[in-house]
Structures are given as structure tokens and as C-alpha cells.
Amino acid sequence: MVSERYFWQKVVLCACFIGWTLYAYIDKVNQVTEARIRLPYLQKECKKLQEENRRRAFVIKQFEDPKQLLLLAKQPEFGHLRAPSTAEILIVQQQEQQ
């Protein structure tokens, strides 16, 4: 009687452990499936961001082009700007810190 009771306790304990293991496995499979579902959306977003970065880099390069800067310098809004002469440039020596 006592050994039969321990036998059934062991069976119930093993069944609970198997159930818990099965639940954990199914949960992991669900997480992987969810990640696979999100992956195409994330790839699309990544491509959009890369294209936007390329576009902005092109705009920055185009704006910083010396020809463009000279054209901007000729416009009336920027007429007050001028390059400093060498006499106006101050060179500051950096002191060593102890």
C-alpha cells in the first residue's frame, strides 16, 4: 500500500514535470514564431532607414559642395559674412594640466 502510494506520487510528479517542460517548449516555439513574423517588417523598416540615410548624406554632400557654398555666399542673405584675415585669427596655446 505504501509503495503503491509513492509510485503514484512519482507518476504525478513526473507528469507535472513533463507538462511543465512541454509548456516551456511551446512557449519558446511561440517566441520564435513571433520573431519570424516581425522579421519582414523590421527588415523593411531597416531598408527605409538606410535609404533615408543615403538620401540625407547626398543632400549634405550637395550642400557642402564648394560650388554651392560660393553660390550661397553671393546671395544677399549671406552678404555680411566674410572670411577673416590672418591678422584677425587668434591662436590660443593649450596649457598642460598637472
Whole-angstrom Cα distance, residue 6 to residue 24? 27
Between 51 and 63, the more confident residue is 51
Whole-angstrom Cα distance, residue 58 to residue 35? 34
Does residue 30 form part of some domain?
Answer: yes
**pTM of the prediction?**
0.53
pLDDT at 1: 66
Between 77 and 50, the more confident residue is 50
Does residue 33 form part of some domain?
Answer: yes
Does residue 63 form part of some domain?
Answer: yes
Lowest-confidence region among 6-10, 42-46, 55-59, 92-96:
92-96
3-state secondary structure of 27: helix
Does residue 14 form part of some domain?
Answer: yes
Does residue 96 form part of some domain?
Answer: no
Between 16 and 80, the more confident residue is 16
Contacts of 68 (CB under 8 A, 6+ apart): 62
Between 72 and 51, the more confident residue is 51
Cβ atoms of 6 and 14 closer than 8 Å:
no
Number of structural domains in the chain: 1
Between 70 and 35, the more confident residue is 35
